[in-house]
Amino acid sequence: MKKKRIWAKLKNQWQFHVMLIPGIVALFIFSYIPLYGLIIAFQKYNPAMGFRSPWVGLRNFTYLFGQPNFVRTIWNTFYIAVFKIIGGILVPVTVALLLNEIKNKTFKRLFQTLVYIPHFLSWVILAGVLMDLLSIDGLVNQILSWIGISPVNFLGDPGIFPWTMILTDIWKGFGFGTVVYLAALTGIDPGLYEAAIMDGAGRWKQTVYITIPMLMPTIVLMMILSMGNILNAGFDQVYNLYSPIVYQTGDIIDTYVYRLGVEQAQYAVGTAVGLFKSVVSGILLTLSYYLADRFAGYRVF
């Protein structure tokens, strides 16, 4: 009986199942097989044998964590990523709040048009622009010299390089980052403000007691969702702007994997790094989705 019903249903909806095949195949080849390929992290990779190379247990990992350079990249990655996440929330929230106080629609639209631009350009182009601007004789240092600040080696000083990464990343993303908060701001019930005005609250009190509390769920949500990025310090950006002089503070996990895995063809060790990263971000991502659902009622699917 039941089997028959399932068959009848399938007969009705077979097109749907057929439509899913290309997507399933694409992900199988380019997501699931590489996922299986992670096992070479426990092997001594041999190109001829591929994913069936001889096992070596945890040797790749012990080798890796014995490398001071690798341990250094974990800290660098974490440092850069954490400040990018914090700034990447604080700055857009502030800008959205400021923009919300502006009543002039033309100014608002023009502002948004201008600040979204860097978000859509690649880090290759932005790196080219920044190399010019931030060089010792570049425009930024010229401006700094007008106000009496001696030239800063933004890209060549290991003490400054991580902050150059953090600030330029915020620069690239803050405009686009405001979209979410502006949407949340327009969703606030105007009745709340009317009631507050009746009670004699000025603009400042309205912001502190209505706007910010109403924005909190969105802010918390964005914070939780960015937890999965704690080991993503931004390969595209760092790779295009760093140089061996700043490896000490600027080399991140992804650039290290790239040099080790692709340039030096140490596939197994490179994969071990990838697996380590994948496990940590996978746990954080799952945890953050759970938290987002639990505390902010947000579901991705």
Classified as helix, coil or strand, 201 is coil
Q: Minimum CB separation from another protein for residue 51, in Å?
A: 8
Residue selected from 189, 236, 264, 294 as contacting another protein according to rule CB under 8 A: 236
| Distances, alpha carbon 295 to alpha carbons 187, 243, 283, 298, in Å | 19, 42, 18, 8
| Distances, alpha carbon 81 to alpha carbons 121, 170, 234, 236, 286, in Å | 20, 11, 8, 13, 18
49 near another protein (CB under 8 A): no
Contact 250, 242 (CB under 8 A): yes
13 near another protein (CB under 8 A): yes
Which residues within the stretch 86-105 sit at the binding site for another protein (CB under 8 A)? 95, 98-99, 101-102
111 near another protein (CB under 8 A): yes
Tokens of 8: 């009848």
Residue selected from 85, 93, 127, 224 as contacting another protein according to rule CB under 8 A: 127
10 Å Cβ neighbour count for 219?
18
CA distance 258 to 229: 18
Q: Residue 110 carries which DSSP code?
A: H
Residue selected from 40, 81, 222, 296 as contacting another protein according to rule CB under 8 A: 40
Which residues within the stretch 157-186 sit at the binding site for another protein (CB under 8 A)? 171, 174-175, 179, 183
198 near another protein (CB under 8 A): no
Cβ closer to another protein: 16 or 57? 16
Cβ closer to another protein: 249 or 271? 271
Closest CA to 255 of 241, 155, 245, 268: 241
290 near another protein (CB under 8 A): no
Stretch of 5-13, 52-60, 73-81, 158-166 contacting another protein, by CB under 8 A: 5-13
